[in-house]
Structure 1
Amino acid sequence: MTAPEQNTSGHLAPNQLGVPGVVFLVLAAVAPLTVAIVVAALAIALGNGGGVVVAFVLVAITLLLFAVGYAQMSRELANASGFYAFIVKGLGKTAGLIAGFIATLGYNFFVAGAVGTAGFFTSIVIAQITGLDIHWYLAGVVVMVIAFLLARGGIELSAVVLGIALVLEVLILLVFSVSVLVQTGFSLEVFSTDVILSGSLGVGLLLAATAFLGFEATSLFSEEAKDPHRTIPRATYAAIVIVGLIHAITVWAIVSAVGVQNAQETALASLETGDLVLVLVDQYLGPFMLIAVLILLVVSLFAAQLAFHNVASRYLFSLGRAGVLPASLSRTRENGVPQNALMVNAGFALVVAGLFALFGLDAITTLVPVMIGFGTLCILVLQMAAALAVVVYFRRRGDARWGKTFVAPGLGFLGLLGICTMAVLNFSVLAGSEAWYVTILPWLLALAVVAGVVYGAYLRKNRPEVYGRLESDLERFDPDPVSTTRH
Structure 2
Amino acid sequence: MTNTEAGHSRLAHNSLGVPGVVFLVLAAVAPLTGIVVVAAIGIALGNGAGMVGAFVLVTIALLLFAVGYARMSKEVVSAGGFYAYTVKGLGRPTGVAAGYVALLGYNFFVAGAVGTSGFFMQTIIATLTGWNVPWLVWGVVSVVAAFLLSRQGIDFSSKVLGVSLVLEVSILLVFDFSVLFTTGFSFGVFAPTVVFSGAVGVALLFAANAFVGFEATGLFSEEAKNPLRTIPRATYTAIIFIGVFAAFTTWAIVSATGAAQAQSVAQKHLATGDLVFSLSEKYLGPVLTDLMMVLLLVSLFAALMALHNSATRYLFSLGRAGILPRRLSRTRKNGFPQFASLVQFAFATLVAAIFAVAGLDPIASLVPSMTGFGTLAILFLQLLAAIAIVVFFRRRRDKAVLSSFVAPSLGAIGLAAIVILAIVNFPVLAGSDAPAIALLPVLLPVALIAGFIAAAVIKRRDPEKYARLADDIERITIESEVESEVEAPRSPEPQKELP
Measured in 2, the distance between the counterparts of 1:468 and 1:285 equals 60
Contact 2:69/2:386 (8 A) holds in 1: yes
Measured in 2, the distance between the counterparts of 1:469 and 1:314 equals 19
The aligned counterpart of 1:176 is: 175
Moved more, 474-483 or 210-219: 474-483
Contact 1:7/1:332 (8 A) holds in 2: no
The aligned counterpart of 1:418 is: 417
The aligned counterpart of 1:147 is: 146
The aligned counterpart of 2:26 is: 27
Measured in 1, the distance between the counterparts of 2:393 and 2:417 equals 23
Measured in 1, the distance between the counterparts of 2:195 and 2:439 equals 31
Check if 1:108 corresponds to 2:112: no
Contact 1:6/1:332 (8 A) holds in 2: no
Residue 247 of structure 2 aligns to which amino acid in structure 1?
A
The aligned counterpart of 1:327 is: 326
Stretches of structure 2 that go unaligned for 5 or more consecutive residues are: 494-499
The aligned counterpart of 1:127 is: 126
Contact 1:78/1:223 (8 A) holds in 2: yes
Measured in 1, the distance between the counterparts of 2:121 and 2:463 equals 48
The aligned counterpart of 2:477 is: 477
The aligned counterpart of 1:457 is: 456
Residue 388 of structure 1 aligns to which amino acid in structure 2?
I
The aligned counterpart of 2:209 is: 210
The aligned counterpart of 1:161 is: 160
Q: What SS does the aligned partner of 1:474 have? A: helix
- C-alpha distance 285-440 of structure 1, shift in aligned 2 (>3 A): same
Measured in 2, the distance between the counterparts of 1:214 and 1:430 equals 16
**TM-score if structure 1 supplies the norm length?**
0.97
Q: Map 1:193-272; keep pairs closer than 5 Å.
A: 193-272=192-271
Measured in 2, the distance between the counterparts of 1:116 and 1:339 equals 23
Contact 1:8/1:330 (8 A) holds in 2: no
- C-alpha distance 66-482 of structure 1, shift in aligned 2 (>3 A): farther
Q: What SS does the aligned partner of 1:332 have? A: coil
Measured in 2, the distance between the counterparts of 1:87 and 1:53 equals 33
Contact 1:6/1:333 (8 A) holds in 2: no
Measured in 1, the distance between the counterparts of 2:431 and 2:218 equals 30
Measured in 2, the distance between the counterparts of 1:192 and 1:484 equals 48
The aligned counterpart of 2:375 is: 376
Q: What SS does the aligned partner of 2:53 have? A: helix
Q: What SS does the aligned partner of 2:205 have? A: helix
**How far apart are 1:129 and its partner, in Å?**
1.3
Contact 1:88/1:471 (8 A) holds in 2: yes
The aligned counterpart of 2:58 is: 59
Contact 1:77/1:477 (8 A) holds in 2: yes
The aligned counterpart of 1:191 is: 190
**How far apart are 1:125 and its partner, in Å?**
1.2
Residue 33 of structure 2 aligns to which amino acid in structure 1?
T
Q: Deviations over 1:460-482 (max 9, x none)?
A: 11122222222122121336666
Q: What SS does the aligned partner of 2:169 have? A: helix
Measured in 1, the distance between the counterparts of 2:216 and 2:230 equals 13
- C-alpha distance 348-249 of structure 1, shift in aligned 2 (>3 A): same
Stretches of structure 1 that go unaligned for 5 or more consecutive residues are: none
RMSD: 1.5
Measured in 1, the distance between the counterparts of 2:64 and 2:40 equals 27
Contact 2:179/2:252 (8 A) holds in 1: yes
Q: What SS does the aligned partner of 1:442 have? A: helix
The aligned counterpart of 1:341 is: 340
Q: Deviations over 1:32-53 (max 9, x none)?
A: 0001100011000111110010
Q: Map 1:43-82; keep pairs closer than 5 Å.
A: 43-82=42-81
Residue 58 of structure 2 aligns to which amino acid in structure 1?
V
**How far apart are 1:7 and its partner, in Å?**
7.8
**How far apart are 1:322 and its partner, in Å?**
0.4
**How far apart are 1:6 and its partner, in Å?**
9.9
Measured in 1, the distance between the counterparts of 2:80 and 2:362 equals 31
**How far apart are 1:8 and its partner, in Å?**
5.8
Identical counterparts, % of pairs: 58
Moved more, 293-302 or 369-378: 369-378
**TM-score if structure 2 supplies the norm length?**
0.95
Measured in 1, the distance between the counterparts of 2:491 and 2:427 equals 43
